[in-house]
C-alpha cells in the first residue's frame, strides 16, 4: 500500500479555491501537516485558519515563481522534505500557472499536483510544466501570426475582387461596341411520308 503524504506544501496562487482544497487534502490525508506559501500582504488572513499548520511568506510580486522566491528559500523548501506540493488554479486547464507549477516542482516534493476550480487535480511533472510554459509563452505569437495571415488573405481576396471587376468592366465595353450579326435559323422541313 502506498504511503500517505504527511507533509503538504500548498502554494496559494488561486485564492477562491484555497479553502476547498485544504478541506479536500485533510479528507484525503487525515492528520497531515499543511504548510501554505503565500504573498506577504495576505499572511494575516491565514494565521488563524485551523486547517493550516504553518505559513511561509514570499515577497509581494506580480507572479509567484522560482526567481522571486530566491535560491536560499528554495533550498529551505527542499530541506523540509514535503510529501506533496500543490499548485492552485483558478481555471480548469491551469494555463497561466506554469510559474507556480515550476515553483512546486522546485520544492522537490515526492509528488506534485495542480488543483483546479472544480476541485479535481492533475499530476504535475517537469515535462507537463515545461509544455504548459511553452504554450503560455507562444500563445501571443500564434495570435499575432493568425492576425497577420488573416489580414494578408483579406488583402489578396480584395485585390482579386477588384481585378475581376475591372476585367468585367473592360470586357463589357468591348463586347457592347461590337455589332452582332446573327445567322438566320435554318428552315424546318416537313417530314416525308413513306409508303409501305
d(CA 123, CA 114): 6
Nearest to 115 by CA among 9, 31, 5: 9
Architecture of domain 7-124: 3-Layer(aba) Sandwich (3.40)
pLDDT tens, position by position, for the chain (196 residues)? 456 668 999 988 777 888 888 888 888 888 899 988 887 776 666 666 778 888 888 776 666 667 677 788 888 888 999 999 888 887 665 566 677 888 888 888 898 888 887 877 888 878 777 777 676 666 666 667 777 888 888 898 988 888 888 888 887 765 555 555 555 556 666 666 767 6
DSSP state of 91: S
pTM to 2 decimal places: 0.61
Could you tell me where the beta strands, DSSP code E, fall in 102-166? 111-115, 121-123
Domain edges within the chain: 7-124, 139-177
Amino acid at each position: 500500500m502506498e504511503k500517505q503524504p504527511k507533509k503538504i506544501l500548498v502554494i496559494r496562487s488561486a485564492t477562491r479555491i484555497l479553502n476547498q482544497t485544504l478541506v479536500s487534502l485533510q479528507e484525503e490525508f487525515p492528520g497531515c501537516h499543511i504548510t501554505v506559501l503565500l504573498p506577504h500582504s495576505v499572511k494575516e488572513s491565514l494565521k488563524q485558519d485551523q486547517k493550516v499548520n504553518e505559513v511561509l511568506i514570499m515577497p509581494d510580486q506580480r507572479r509567484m515563481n522560482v526567481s522571486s522566491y530566491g535560491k536560499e528559500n528554495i533550498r529551505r523548501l527542499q530541506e523540509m522534505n514535503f510529501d506533496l506540493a500543490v499548485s492552485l488554479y483558478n481555471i480548469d486547464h491551469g494555463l497561466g500557472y506554469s510559474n507556480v507549477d515550476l515553483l512546486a516542482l522546485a520544492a522537490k516534493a515526492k509528488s506534485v499536483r495542480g488543483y483546479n476550480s472544480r476541485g479535481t487535480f492533475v499530476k504535475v511533472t517537469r515535462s507537463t510544466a515545461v509544455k504548459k510554459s511553452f504554450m503560455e509563452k507562444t500563445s501571443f505569437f500564434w495570435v499575432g501570426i493568425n492576425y497577420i495571415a488573416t489580414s494578408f488573405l483579406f488583402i489578396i481576396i480584395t485585390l482579386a475582387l477588384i481585378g475581376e471587376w475591372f476585367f468585367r468592366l473592360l470586357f463589357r465595353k468591348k463586347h457592347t461596341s461590337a455589332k452582332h450579326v446573327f445567322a438566320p435559323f435554318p428552315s424546318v422541313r416537313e417530314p416525308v411520308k413513306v409508303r409501305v
